[in-house]
């Protein structure tokens, strides 16, 4: 779990241009370390299960595969390494450990509550989106470069 979280943090930090300029090579090394670590884990899981195809095409197998794929793709397609944030999905494995099935009744109750409040939720979301568009448009007009705002810190 720690490796997953640290890996996602490294990818996030690498997406900041100033940090990439200063720490670019260590970020690349860390990224390859995590990719190799997760690749080994993926291979060991395939080897250790009775039916490899069952794991490979399961939800967790696909998450594991797609979490290592972007680094290898970055060798062929520049810029694809930013899809590495997919690795955060690996954190979902913790739910398997916690035996979430005991909370299925609560999930059913939550689903019923959401269904019965659908109209209120729709109005709320529509209102929030409308306000966000209006405020965003105002900020775009106010922070125009002609008024001295360049978008740079």
- Average pLDDT score over residue span 77-104: 59
Residue 78 has pLDDT above 80, yes or no: no
Measure the CA–CA gap between 63 and 92, rounded to whole angstroms.
9
- The reported pLDDT for the residue numbered 86 is 62
pLDDT digits over 96-144, tens only? Answer: 445 555 666 777 888 899 999 999 999 999 899 889 888 877 777 777 6
Domain ranges across the chain: 2-98, 104-147
Measure the CA–CA gap between 25 and 19, rounded to whole angstroms.
11
Please tell me the class of the 2-98 domain: mainly alpha
- The reported pLDDT for the residue numbered 107 is 76
Residue 74 has pLDDT above 60, yes or no: yes
pLDDT, averaged across the chain: 78
Sequence-separated (6 or more) residues with CB below 8 Å from residue 62: 56
Give the orientation angle of helix 2-14 with respect to helix 17-48, to 10 degrees.
Answer: 150
Could you tell me the pLDDT band of residue 47, with boundaries at 50, 70 and 90? very high
- Specify the range with the lowest mean pLDDT, choosing from 52-56, 76-80, 118-122: 76-80
CA angle 17, 82, 150 (to 5 degrees): 35
């Amino acid at each position: 779990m720690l490796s997953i979280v640290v890996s996602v943090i490294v990818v996030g930090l690498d997406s900041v241009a100033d940090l990439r300029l200063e720490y670019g090579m260590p970020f690349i090394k860390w990224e390859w370390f995590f990719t190799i670590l997760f690749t080994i884990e993926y291979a060991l899981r395939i080897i250790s299960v009775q039916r490899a195809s069952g794991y490979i095409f399961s939800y967790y197998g696909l998450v594991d595969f797609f979490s290592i794929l972007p680094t290898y793709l970055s060798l062929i397609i520049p810029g694809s390494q930013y899809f590495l944030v997919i690795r955060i999905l690996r954190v979902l494995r913790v739910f398997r450990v916690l035996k979430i099935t005991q909370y299925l009744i609560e999930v059913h109750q939550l689903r019923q509550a959401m269904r019965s409040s659908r109209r209120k939720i729709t109005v709320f979301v529509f209102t929030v989106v409308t306000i966000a568009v209006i405020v965003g448009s105002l900020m775009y007009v106010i922070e125009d470069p002609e008024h001295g705002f360049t978008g740079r810190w």
